[in-house]
Amino acid sequence: MNTKSTFCGSNDHRLNRRGFLGLSAAAGVSAFADMTGLDALSNSALAGELKKDQKRVIMLWLAGGSSQLETFDPKPGAPTGGPFRSIQTAVPGVHISELMPKLAARMQHTCIIRSLNTKNGDHGGAAKLMMRGRRDEAVVKYPDLGAVMAKEMGRADSKVPDYVTFYTQTEGRMAGDSGFLGSRYAPMELTTNNQPPDIRKLDGISELDHVQRADLRELMSKQFSQGRPNKVLGSHNEAYQRVRGLMASEKLFDVSQESAKTRDLYGRSQFGEQALIARRLAEAGVPFIRVARAWWDSHGQNFETHQEMVPELDHVMAALIDDLKDRGLLENTMIVTLAEFGRTPGINSSLGRDHFASAWSCSITGGGIKGGVAYGKTDANGNKVVEGEADAAKLYATIYSALGINPHKNYYLGSRPVPLVEPGTEAIKELVA
């Protein structure tokens, strides 16, 4: 079987093409058969099943900036502590907010970093920083974690997307960004509902015609490609080769494929359903899925907001941990719960908390991260980091290390080497399993 002459390798497809080339196939073949090795890349990657150690990341993005004091770094009794209590977790000595009882019971799987000092307290800039671990330069636009994962863990011929992002609310919406890695690694963005855009065939064209016009496109494009070896051209053809596979992945986005029990486990909220889809995608081999939940920007009524939103987060995190664990996926799937920054310990006049990037927290679970650890420390009122300070680069070095990606590896922008994380930054060793 010559897989080179078909784009998806399926027998149906081969028949379809013969169908339209029909008896005069010989003529077509003489002109078009000798295709260049453009899909060599796909062929080499076709070989393996999902590698056992292929890591995936589900990022829960708390857009707007959740409060560390009402989640991972409570300060009960301090003037800045707010109204809530802290509770003992499954790990002796580690306490988190009373708003997260379910995570507390699963603390042995999770690590908390309480010592982020990331300096940027502006939504846009901080979100870019925390999604990339780096600050853009004039000519170097860094890829975000999703794009890096798509590049590191995605496969050229994959029938599922490499990078999916849900951002249904409009507040603070930030598109995924593959930076200098280019649109090959750009995400599939879901902003209006849980169905990806343009994944379903229009009604006006039959299944067969849809396939065959794509064959026609490919045939002529390959003819053009002869004698024109070019990376961008290769990516163009490859993108079209992936269309049918991606269309087949539509049902991954359909939660009704899951049992009522599983759906209840995640909860029927939008956030819960998107987290469930994220699990479905991770299971199918999608390397990176981000589920954004907005809008945590509680300048007013911080405590009511967190009283409402943290239990939902708690529930979704617990559901993901349990479900991934039950399916044996937790070891290779990392849940990153992260925002662009935390919130001021000081409680403002509207009983809110404002942007604060000097001493805040995030959490990482699974996928090569050591569970049951609370790393770093802030002072009694939560104003400053007093132990284990980590900036965005250090956080990313840790994430990459845990995922088995060398944080010091270089990408090449033309001839320019671009290290994955800020040079001189080391991972937090205590957190890498």
Partner 1 sequence: MPPTTPAPAKGTLKAAKPIPVSQQLCGIEYSPKGDMLVAGTFEGGIRRWKVTPAELTDLPPLAGHNAWVQCVAFDSKGERFFSADSWGRVNAWSADPVQTKPLWSVADAHSTWIHAMAIHPKAEFLATAGRDNIIRLTDPATGKEIRRWEAGDDVLAMTFHPSGLSLITGDLHGLIKEWDHSTGKLKRELNAKQMFLHDRLQDVGGVRCFAWNADASMLFAGGCQPKSGGFVQGFNLVIGFDWVSGQAKMNHKTTNEADGYVLDMHWNPDGFLMAVTSGQPGQGKLIFLKPGEAQPFQSYPVPNAHSLAIHPDGKRLFVSATNANSSGNGRQLGKDKEYPANTSPLHGFEFVG
Partner 2 sequence: MRPNRLVLLLATILPSFTVAADLLPPDRPIESVIDHYIDARLATSKSKAVDQADDYTLIRRLTLDLVGRIPTPAESKAFVESKDAKKREQLVDRLMASGAFVRHQANQFDAMISGPSSRTSGIRDYLVKALGSNKSWDVIFRELLVPNDDDAATKGSGEYLKTRITDLDRVTNDVSVTFFGVNVSCAQCHDHPLVQDWKQDHFFGMKSFFARSFDNGGFLAERDDATVKFKPTKGPEKTAKMMFLTGKTFNPPARKEQTKEEEIKERQKFEQAKKDKKSPPPPSFSARAKLVEIALQTEEAVFFSKAISNRLWHRFLGYGLVMPLDQMHSENPASHPELLQWLGRDMANHQYDLRRMIRGIVLSKTYSRSSKWTGDIPPAPGVFAVAQLKPLTPMQLAASMRVAVADPATFEGKPEDVEKRLESIENSARGFAGNIAAPTDDFQIGVSEALLFSNSDRVEKEFLNDGGDRLIGKLKTIKDPTQAVELMISSTLCRPATPDEKKLLTEYLQRRTDRSADAQRQILWSLLSGAEFRFNY
The answer to whether the bond into 61 is cis (omega within 30° of 0) is no
Residue closer to partner 2 (CB basis): 27 or 46: 27
Choose the one of partner 2, partner 1, none that binds residue 301, judging by a C-beta under 5 to 8 angstroms depending on kind.
Answer: partner 1
Of 249 and 302, which has the nearer Cβ to partner 2?
249
Structure tokens at 112: 């908390």
**30 near partner 2 (CB under 8 A):** yes
For residue 227, state whether it binds partner 2 (rule: CB under 8 A): yes
What whole-number distance in Å separates Cα of residue 208 and Cα of residue 184?
27
SS3 for 193?
coil
In whole angstroms, give the CA distance from residue 94 to residue 107.
9
The widest CA-to-CA distance across the chain, in whole angstroms, is: 84
Stretch that binds partner 2, among 193-201, 259-267, 311-319, 384-392 (CB under 8 A): 193-201
Decide if 161 contacts 147 (C-beta within 8 A). Answer: no
The pattern of x and - marking residues 132 through 161 that bind partner 2 according to CB under 8 A reads -----xxx-x-------------------x
Q: How far is the CB of 223 from partner 1 (least distance, A)?
A: 51
Q: Closest distance between partner 1 and the C-beta of residue 84, in Å?
A: 7
Query: What span, in angstroms and rounded, lies between the C-alpha atoms of 216 and 17?
Result: 9
- Indicate which of partner 2, partner 1, none lies near residue 308 (CB less than 5 to 8 Å, by partner kind): partner 1
Where helices occur in 341-405 by DSSP H, the ranges are: 392-402
Cα separation of 64 and 58, whole Å? Answer: 18
Neighbouring CB atoms inside 10 A of 119's CB total 14
Is residue 382 near partner 2 by the rule CB under 8 A? Answer: no
217 near partner 2 (CB under 8 A): yes
Q: State yes or no: residue 285 binds partner 1 (CB under 8 A).
A: no
In the complex with partner 1, which residue's Cβ is closer, 77 or 197? 77
The least distance separating partner 1 from the CB of residue 299, rounded to whole angstroms, comes to 5
- How would you class 291 by CB atoms within 10 Å of its CB: exposed for 0-12, middle for 13-18, buried for 19 or more? buried
Cβ distance to partner 2 smaller for residue 160 or 373: 160
**Cβ atoms of residues 143 and 132 within 8 Å:** yes
| Number of Cα atoms under 13 Å in the Cβ half of residue 244 | 19
Q: Interface with partner 2 includes 409 (CB under 8 A)?
A: no
Site residues, partner 2 (CB under 8 A) = 20-22, 24, 27-28, 30-32, 137-139, 141, 161, 178, 180-186, 188-189, 196-202, 204-205, 209-210, 212-214, 216-217, 219-222, 224-233, 235-237, 239-240, 242-243, 246-247, 413-416
